Amino acid sequence: MPDQILSEMAIFESPDFDAHEQVVFACDPAAGLRAIIAIHDTTLGPALGGCRIWKYTSEGAAVRDALRLSAGMSHKAALAGLDLGGGKAVIMADSRTEKTPAMMRAFGRTVERLAGRYITAEDVGCAVADMDAVGEETEHVAGVSGGAGDPSPFTARGVFLSMQEAVKRRLGRSLEGVRVSVKGLGNVGEQLCRQLHAAGAEIVVSDIRADAVAAAQADLGCGSVPVEEAAFIECDVFAPCALGAELNAESIPKIRAGIVCGAANNLLSTPADDARVAEAGILYCPDYLVNAGGLISVARRTLSLSEAQVNAKVDEIPATLGRIIDEAAATGKPTGAVADAHARARFRG
């Protein structure tokens, strides 16, 4: 039986395993903690990445999430020009019913044992108060009270500037009058809509929260569509700001927007969808590049960045995107592959 369990996990052979430096399984029965911390690569610096608290259906699903998310963080930091590595933690628990300060402190002790190789922060299921509890046990934590604050304005700005760049290159125009479908009106999507509105874009919104849609209609005069239609309406730009995996074999042939540029992570459902979206004539703006503003702001304390330096790094995102679009056009490679190659060149040389 133990052999069977181990072979089912098959971590080193898993397609999500990318020569990760270290994967830590942490357990504290008294605190109800079962966590996995994946440190992908620390060539550029300590591995910074959030802690996700999620009721995974299996241990394998939790390991896969930690492996994928941590590798994503290495790529995101590298392409944003940050001297940081990539890591991510997952805690296997229901954040609403099982999370306790004792659990977060136990997680903090695990982070402390890694002696700064991994720096944690908020992710799904975590709030500032949780990071404060973690901070009682370790200093290797970003996102505590009085720290960098809400990263979403920086994320929204990076997405907005990237969209401006993509529209300029693809359509040869400003955002004025450009029709954008924004799916997801949370912290990032709502602020993105405000910036698009100020730039004169025609906005069509969608969210599973009717109140958020009503507010966008009332405040900004946005149109709206049901969530299941958001990706497929006639528009210039589709901006997914809710969930990942929006670009897949089924959705891509139905997308009518010429540009996809949004905040959601892991927009490509599988690696093959990178080429698929390019072949469909759609300009995909790599998610981890355009949404890096939040990481840049969270990294502020770790890298001792001034406010001006944080803003300057966010403002560099569209120029990086422009280079990737140009290289993809010149080489015939998909934009995601070009972005990956640039990021990996920084940490895997």
Which active-site residues does the annotation give? 88
Cβ-based nearer residue to ligand NAD, 33 or 90: 90
Question: In the stretch 101-120, what mask flags binding to ligand NAD with x, by CB under 6 A?
Answer: --------------------
Among 206, 224, 320, 335, binds ligand NAD (CB under 6 A): 206
Shortest Cβ 227–ligand NAD spacing (Å): 4
Scan for tokens 């990076």, then name that residue: 158
Q: Where does this chain touch ligand NAD (CB under 6 A) — which range of 15-23, 183-191, 248-256, 313-321?
A: 183-191
Distance of CA 245 to the CA centre of its chain: 12
Residue pair 206/222 in contact by the 8 Å Cβ criterion = no
264 binds ligand NAD (CB under 6 A): yes
Tokens of 309: 């330096």
187 binds ligand NAD (CB under 6 A): yes
Question: In the stretch 155-174, what mask flags binding to ligand NAD with x, by CB under 6 A?
Answer: x-------------------
Q: Where does this chain touch ligand NAD (CB under 6 A) — which range of 38-46, 258-266, 306-314, 322-330?
A: 258-266
Among 70, 120, 164, 291, binds ligand NAD (CB under 6 A): 291
152 binds ligand NAD (CB under 6 A): yes
Residue pair 284/131 in contact by the 8 Å Cβ criterion = no
Scan for tokens 């998310």, then name that residue: 69
184 binds ligand NAD (CB under 6 A): yes
Amino acid (one-letter) located at 109: R
**CA separation for the pair 142, 195 (Å, rounded):** 27
Among 60, 81, 186, 322, binds ligand NAD (CB under 6 A): 186
Tokens of 201: 């874009």
Tally of CB atoms within 10 A around 17: 18
Q: What 3-state DSSP class applies to 89?
A: strand
208 binds ligand NAD (CB under 6 A): yes
Cβ-based nearer residue to ligand NAD, 263 or 283: 263
- HSE value, Cβ hemisphere, 13 Å, CA-based, for 154: 26
Contacts of ligand NAD in 61-90 (CB under 6 A): none
Among 46, 143, 151, 286, binds ligand NAD (CB under 6 A): 151
Among 49, 86, 143, 189, binds ligand NAD (CB under 6 A): 189
Q: Where does this chain touch ligand NAD (CB under 6 A) — which range of 1-9, 31-39, 148-156, 308-316?
A: 148-156
Residue pair 99/130 in contact by the 8 Å Cβ criterion = yes
Q: Where does this chain touch ligand NAD (CB under 6 A) — which range of 128-136, 137-145, 200-208, 311-319?
A: 200-208
Distance of CA 26 to the CA centre of its chain: 24
Residue pair 124/75 in contact by the 8 Å Cβ criterion = no
Residue pair 24/94 in contact by the 8 Å Cβ criterion = no
Residue pair 46/298 in contact by the 8 Å Cβ criterion = no
Residue pair 138/106 in contact by the 8 Å Cβ criterion = no
Which residues contact ligand NAD (rule: CB under 6 A)? Answer: 151-152, 155, 183-189, 206-209, 212, 227, 241-243, 263-265, 291, 294
